[in-house]
Amino acid sequence: MQTITTIGLDIAKSVFQVHGIDAGGQVVIRQQLKRRYVLAFFQKLPPCLVGIEACASSHHWSRELQALGHTVRLMPPAYVKPYIKRQKNDAADAEAICEAVTRANMRFVDTKTPEQQSGMVLHRTRHLCMRQQTSAINAIRAHLAEFGIVAPVGRNGVEELLDIVSNPSDKRVPEIARTCLAALGTQLRRLKEQVLEFDRMIRTWHRSNEMSMRLDECPCVGPVLATAVVASVADPRTFRSGRNFSAWIGLVPKQRSSGARTGSAASVNRVTAIYAACSWPGTRHSPLLGSNLLRPVEFGSVDPHAMQNELGP
């Protein structure tokens, strides 16, 4: 059997697809694997290059295969898609991954550590609770409005509505509706407590992480955004400069040009798109963010306008 040097691994929840080639590019193996046999299969192979799409559970499998001595490269699925020849199936996907991972100009995704993934879970769970909190507030306001009860916008207005719900002598609210609204009020208070607990966890993690503390020195950056960036960026050395990092998180417009016609599209901000509900003071972007992530900055000796020009519009 020829020696396998490169493998394209199409991962899934239960069934995985392997496409392996030798040093000359000849196909050596095409095989489907059940989840429980994946690690045993790679244990039998000599160290080789393994390509995986950067999707759900990819960072876990990258760490597991690296522990076996293999070199693992994660790639954005959008960069792999052009290498799919015709049909869309697991075998074609694995072949495309195997082809893409050998490209010299391919951009790879660094493997996140368990700590970084835990930080992402913390932020996303907090964001989910805040969305549920908004949903519960909207439901309480909408249901009470059906009985002609409204309150001013803001937290005080919601508390006024909950006081009406908890007052059994107020006959404007029928008993069935009162019971349902009381349940929503209980859910809302529990969500607020949970968000505060997540905030405390974020502060604790922020104070224990050197990179997050460095980012906190940037103007308009607080603990939420600092820890979000640390969790999102596996290795800041991946970016050649602060300008590249600024473009990656969406501080500059995306280009949309063809021939002599030039134009730009709205940028997609990778950080705030995930943490749009972060209500911590100072979670806006900073032009110094990429620079401080990549190297120490003495803010007293840096001209903010010059730094803005360096990092891009």
**φ/ψ (deg, to 5) at 140:** -60, -45
Kindly compute the dihedral angle of the four CA atoms of residues 86, 89, 92, 94, in this order, to the nearest 10 degrees: 150
Distances (CA, A) of 284 to 98, 222, 280: 40, 8, 10
Q: Is the dihedral of CA 204, 209, 211, 214 positive or negative?
A: positive
Residue pLDDT tens, the chain, 313 long? 579 999 999 999 999 999 999 999 999 999 999 999 999 999 999 999 999 999 999 999 999 999 999 999 999 999 999 999 888 899 999 999 999 999 999 999 999 999 999 999 999 999 999 999 999 999 999 999 999 999 998 888 999 999 999 999 989 999 999 999 999 999 999 999 999 999 999 999 999 988 899 888 888 888 888 898 888 888 888 888 888 887 777 777 777 788 777 776 655 555 544 444 333 333 333 444 444 444 443 333 334 444 344 444 3
Instruction: Name 162's bridge partners.
Output: none
